[in-house]
Amino acid sequence: MNPHEAIAVAKTRADVWEAPMVPRPWRVVRVRRETPDTKTLELEPAEPLNFAFRPGQFNMLYVFGVGEVPISISGDPQNPQGLVHTVRAVGAVTRALCSLKRGDVVGVRGPFGSAWPVDEAEGSDVVIVAGGIGLAPLRPALYRVLANRGKYGNVALLYGARTPQDLLYRRELERWRGRFDLQVEVTVDAAGEGWYGHVGVVTKLIPRAEFDPDEAVALVCGPEIMMRFAVKALHERGVSLDNIYISMERNMKCAVGFCGHCQFGPQFICKDGPVFRFREIEGFFRVREI
């Protein structure tokens, strides 16, 4: 296309976002301590606002004067105005987010990114494999599946964390475990007294879970190395790489594909991801330091 024409076309497209670079204010309604270094924030809009998201998407959260970070949305997509974010304090901004109190205001830009294939997975078994804080971006997918339980086959949640003290959403996990139509298996890397559950890597739970590998869609999220082993274990069990989805993480500054930081091979994690079908990124996933 002639460059002059390209500009003319750019002027007329109404569906294109004029890059959302300005955060909108949301108020903290509730802060829940999940683990010693992780909090879940529940937010409501501080000004009238239409907000909707799909499971797997993320927001950029801004703390006044401190900075902005990408955090996946971990609430119920059917209740988007009750925005939920689970944050682990690992740096200046996340530490500031974890220090927020009820009534404080947070800047939100979003939602951004690709979503878990919860619609496409209808009719299949669903295996959710979560490691550590990876359960946070998967929870909305599980909510969505449970809200439409009849449309799915066997559903299993396999969750691994460091120690029993690091388990997220403990009470909810126990509630889910109580259902008759959901398998929930939890494992930790190490445990002291009082833990009667599994101890071992989360991949060990995969061979035992009840699902048909030929009819299953797997959603995997956690540290990259955990995803690597989980994909391997799922594949060994017979799940096709076309049916395994992972969520990637990279440094992000803009979330709209301009700053270049989140590139992973040809993919921009912020707009082509963070959720990817494994087959799509298989080649680059195996390259070190890419």
Least distance in angstroms from the C-beta of 256 to other proteins = 4
Question: Coil, strand or helix: which one is 61?
Answer: strand
Task: Give how far the C-alpha of residue 85 lies from the chain's centroid of Cα atoms, to the nearest Å.
Answer: 10
Q: Which of 171/288 has CB closer to other proteins?
A: 288
What is the spatial distance between Cα 174 and Cα 158, in angstroms, rounded to a whole number?
13
48 lines the binding site for other proteins (CB under 8 A): no
Least distance in angstroms from the C-beta of 101 to other proteins = 9
Q: Which of 8/147 has CB closer to other proteins?
A: 8
Q: Which of 21/49 has CB closer to other proteins?
A: 21
Q: Report the site for other proteins in 111-130 (rule: CB under 8 A).
A: none
Q: Report the site for other proteins in 71-110 (rule: CB under 8 A).
A: 90-91, 94, 103-105, 107
66 lines the binding site for other proteins (CB under 8 A): yes
- Is the peptide bond between 274 and the residue preceding it cis, with omega within 30 degrees of 0? yes
Select from 95, 54, 92 the least CA-distant residue to 72: 54
* Strand partners of residue 264: 267
Least distance in angstroms from the C-beta of 181 to other proteins = 22
Q: Report the site for other proteins in 270-289 (rule: CB under 8 A).
A: 271, 283, 287-289
Q: Which of 97/126 has CB closer to other proteins?
A: 97
**Structure token pair of residue 33:** 């301590």
Phi–psi pair at 208, nearest 5 degrees: -90, -20
In the list 62, 159, 276, 278, the residue contacting other proteins (rule: CB under 8 A) is 62
Contacts of 63 (CB under 8 A, 6+ apart): 93, 96, 97, 100, 106, 107
17 lines the binding site for other proteins (CB under 8 A): yes
34 lines the binding site for other proteins (CB under 8 A): no
Burial 86-123, CB ≥16 within 10 A → b, else e: bbbbeeebbebbbebeeebbbbbbbbbbbbbbbeebee
Per-residue contact string for residues 226-265; x = within reach of other proteins by CB under 8 A: x--x-------------------xxx-xx-xxxxxx-x-x
Q: Which of 24/235 has CB closer to other proteins?
A: 24
Q: Report the site for other proteins in 175-214 (rule: CB under 8 A).
A: 187, 189-193, 195-201, 203-204, 208
